[in-house]
Amino acid sequence: MDEIKTKSFGSLIAATIDQAVDCPFIVFQYAYWTNCNYDSQTLVKLSKIKNFVAIKNAINDPRRYEEEYRCLKRVRSDISFLNANDVQLLSYFCIGSDGALVGYASLAPEFIVALYEAVEKGDLRKAREITNRMYPLTQAIYSHPRLNWHTRIKEALVMMGEIESAAARPFLPTISDQTREMEYVQDLIDAVVETENSKKANFPYCTILSLFDTDCSIFFQILTKSNFFKIPTY
């Protein structure tokens, strides 16, 4: 922790995690308008952590991208600076990068590799030709709303025969609706009990019941197990 003397909460967290885990990590710079990113000064301080090996830069602001690229390369040239601005790959490659880390590469990897190599060789004419060829596809994938960007990529992969379905696989085994309902109600009951015990508010069980458009027997089945509430069994 002494290696990083900063008031930045984010860099302090990163340093603490690094000491506990000792594992290489990549910093993800989200777009500037999300406020989910670090300023250049903080990135330089983070560079003092040896496990900071790469940055995925999707800042979507040429000025900040160049500033962050130059700052990090000045203090740690070994940190891989990866272009993650899918919609404007050419312009950011020209500023400087060590490659790309983009979802677009799952759909058009050959184009993106060829584009990067052309820029690195200083062949701007070829790089522009590749970008022009990619442009209709880029426009089709990365039009609004942003929420559908990766869904469109998956749909395109289905059309190409690369994957069978664009639907995401479930993270957990499916459970019955009744089990899910009971778990939800139990969480609410626990919250009410905690609130009542702390005497911060009066939140009676009828308030919880009003939240559900369901069989009341599920609600009462859990409610009667609580030592806090004393109501008849239904």
For the chain, percent of residues with pLDDT exceeding 90: 56
Check: CB of residue 54 under 8 Å from CB of residue 97: no
Is 231 a domain residue? no
Other beta carbons within 10 angstroms of residue 153's beta carbon come to 20
pLDDT score of 210 = 44
Residue 108 lies in a domain: yes
Structural domain contains residue 158: yes
Band of pLDDT at residue 219, cut at 50, 70 and 90: very low
Task: Provide the CATH number for the domain around residue 93.
Answer: 3.20.20.70
Residue of 202, 104, 118, 189 whose CA lies nearest to 150: 104
Q: Which domain holds residue 187?
A: 177-223
pLDDT at 189: 62
Examine the domain organization and report whether 5 and 95 are in the same domain. yes
In whole angstroms, give the CA distance from residue 58 to residue 30. 5
Short-list 29, 32, 124, CA closest to 79: 29
Q: Which residue has the tokens 């952590």?
A: 49
Whether residue 111 is contained in a domain is answered as yes
Q: What is the mean pLDDT of residues 45-49?
A: 93
What average pLDDT score do residues 174-186 get? Answer: 64
Identify whether residues 39 and 79 lie together within a single domain.
yes
The last residue of one of the domains, among 78, 101, 124, is: 101
Domain boundary among 77, 101, 125: 101
184 and 137 part of one domain: no
Closest CA to 59 of 85, 97, 79, 39: 85
Please give the pLDDT value at position 175.
61
Cα–Cα distance measured from residue 55 to residue 52, given in angstroms and rounded to the nearest whole number? 8
- pLDDT above 70 covers a percentage of the chain that reads 69
Helical packing angle, 177-197 and 216-223, nearest 10°? 50
Q: Is 83 helix (H, G, I), strand (E, B) or coil?
A: strand
For residues 92 and 12, membership in a common domain is answered with yes
Domain shared by 165 and 211, yes or no: no
Q: Are residues 40 and 73 in the same domain?
A: yes
131 with 77, same domain: the answer is no
Shared-domain flag, residues 65 and 154: no
Question: Is residue 56 domain-shared with residue 143, that is, in the same domain?
Answer: no
| Same structural domain, 1 and 97 | yes
CA–CA distance, 158 with 164 (Å, rounded to integer): 6
* Separation CA 55–CA 100 (nearest Å): 10
Judged by average pLDDT, the poorest of 5-19, 36-50, 69-83 is 5-19
